[in-house]
Each structure stands twice: as C-alpha cells, then as structure tokens.
Amino acid sequence: MSNSGRGLLFIVSAPSGTGKTTLVERLVQLVPNLRMSRSYTSRPARAGEQNGVDYNFISRERFDAMVGDGAFLEWADVFGHCYGTSAADTDTLLSQGHDVVLVIDVQGARQVRSRGIETVGVFVLPPSASVLEQRLRGRSKDSEEQIRRRLEVACREVHEFSGYEYVVVNDELDAAVDRMAAIVLAERARVKMMRRRAEEIIGTFADGKDT
Ligand code: ADP
Ligand code: 5GP
C-alpha cells in the first residue's frame, strides 16, 4: 500500500501457453494482500471453468454495452474473443489498499500505460519457442489450428518485452513464482511506498542532538 493508501497495479503479460495464469495463481497464494483481477470475456467457458472464478463470462452484447459505457480500463480482441478489465472492480480493490495483478495481453497493457496510470509491468517468457509449443499441446485446451494461431501471435508478442519493467523466464515453476514474488516485494519496499511507515519509526527516535 502506498502513502496514499492505494494499492499498486501490476500487469503480467506473456504469450498464450507460457504459464502466466499458473504463475499468478500461485503468486497470489504466496504473497499477502495481492489480488488477481477477474476479467470479463465474451468467450464461452471451457470445461472446468467457472463463471465469477476464472472469468466473468458475459454475452457479446453485454460486452459491447460495457465498452459503450466506458466500463473497461482496457479491453482487447484476443484470438477472436473479447476480454476486458473492469475499471470499477480494479478501482475498488486498489482503493481498499490491495495490490492488484492484471493478467492481460500486450494490447491491453499498452492501453493501460497510455492512460498514464502508474503500473509495474512483468513480461513472462517461456524458455524457448519449442517449450511454448509443448506447453500449449500439454494443456490440451486448444485445437491444432488454435495452437498454430497462438504460436504465430507469440512470434510477434515476444518482441514487446522491452515495454515492461521486468522479465521473468518461466522455466522451473517454483523458481519463477519466487522471482515474481521478489518483484512485488521489491516494489513494495520503494522509498515512496515506505515513506509514511519510515517517518512513523523515525518519530520514535529522540531528535539525536545528545547522541
Ligand atoms: P497462459 O495463462 O500463459 O496461457 P497456462 O497457465 O494455462 O498459460 O499454462 C500453460 C500450460 O503450461 C499449463 O498446462 C501449465 O500447467 C503449464 N506450465 C505452466 N508453467 C510451467 C512450468 N514452469 N513448467 C512446466 N509447465 C508449466
Ligand atoms: P484465454 O482465453 O486462454 O483464457 O486467454 C487468452 C488471452 O486473453 C491471454 O493472453 C490473456 O492474457 C488475455 N486476457 C485475459 N483477460 C484479459 C483482459 O481482461 N484484457 C486483455 N487485454 N487480455 C486479456
């Protein structure tokens, strides 16, 4: 939580299949006071996915109406379906003092940055293109055509890493989660974040004239 009491906004992006959802789900279990934002999508739920847990699954009509109402902090068409982050949901979490992670694609990340909102961006890379392909196949969620499409998009997306503040290579899962946690903790320890607490502690010291 910053001096203003508002939380920090983290953005995590990675090519589909890199493991960003797996990583961030572990991260929010590990780090207190860190919440993963729940996106809205017009994509149908996959087997095992739950409305209000994995995503807020809504119709295309409702999605378009939310776009018209300016309800999204960012939104994008990703692989033919619409995905968006609710501005109100994010603001509620941040104003409660929670740090929030948006797991969004590179188009969405660009929109948030272009609004001048302060964010900490983490780009997650797979160890190689062939490992990414193995993970997409191993996940068994996508058709062969979808996998090919995801790999094509990945070839373009990986070049966007330099627009982010941090890069994490998702090689070994536990180690990658630890590196993500280290980033969150380091951002929380910045002087601008710690100033109020530091001043409270300093206030418990004598003024130092006699020492
Ligand atoms: P994304 O959200 O980036 O599309 P997922 O979190 O769905 O990716 O992960 C894609 C697949 O890769 C899943 O089957 C997941 O279990 C697996 N995976 C994630 N991280 C690792 C890792 N470090 N090592 C091996 N497999 C991983
Ligand atoms: P999936 O359909 O596999 O769950 O997600 C596909 C892609 O959509 C992923 O790259 C994911 O990061 C992206 N995505 C999920 N939610 C959002 C969102 O709210 N906004 C944007 N821009 N992308 C999102």
For residue 160, give the CATH number of its domain: 3.40.50.300
> Is 14 a pocket residue for ligand 1 (Cβ < 6 Å)?
yes
Neighbouring CB atoms inside 10 A of 60's CB total 12
Report the pLDDT value the prediction gives residue 28, as an integer from 0 to 100.
98
Residue 62 forms part of a structural domain: no
> Is 86 a pocket residue for ligand 1 (Cβ < 6 Å)?
no
Average pLDDT over residues 30-42: 98
Would the pLDDT of 164 be above 90? Answer: yes
> Is 149 a pocket residue for ligand 2 (Cβ < 6 Å)?
no
| Ligand 2 midpoint to CA 208 (Å) | 54
Residue 184 forms part of a structural domain: yes
Residue 78 forms part of a structural domain: no
Average pLDDT over residues 5-24: 96
Q: Which of 105, 147, 156 to mutate to test the pocket of ligand 2 (most atoms within 8 A of CB)?
A: 105
Residue 91 forms part of a structural domain: no
pLDDT band (50, 70, 90) for residue 141: confident
> Is 30 a pocket residue for ligand 1 (Cβ < 6 Å)?
no
| Domains of the chain: total | 1
Report the pLDDT value the prediction gives residue 59, as an integer from 0 to 100.
97
Residue 111 forms part of a structural domain: yes
Ligand closest to 134 (CA) is 1
Helix (H, G, I), strand (E, B) or coil at 163: helix
Domain that residue 139 falls in: 9-37+98-202
Average pLDDT over residues 157-173: 98
Residue 67 forms part of a structural domain: no
Residue 17 forms part of a structural domain: yes
Report the pLDDT value the prediction gives residue 211, as an integer from 0 to 100.
52
Residue 132 forms part of a structural domain: yes
Would the pLDDT of 136 be above 60? Answer: yes
Would the pLDDT of 208 be above 80? Answer: no
Burial 127-163 (b: 16+ CB within 10 A, else e): eeeebbbebbeeeeebeeeebeebbebbeebbebbee
> Is 127 a pocket residue for ligand 1 (Cβ < 6 Å)?
no
Residue closest by Cα to atom 2 of ligand 1: 21
* For the chain, percent of residues with pLDDT exceeding 90: 90
Burial of 34 (0-12, 13-18, 19+ CB in 10 A): buried
> Is 39 a pocket residue for ligand 1 (Cβ < 6 Å)?
no
Report the pLDDT value the prediction gives residue 20, as an integer from 0 to 100.
97
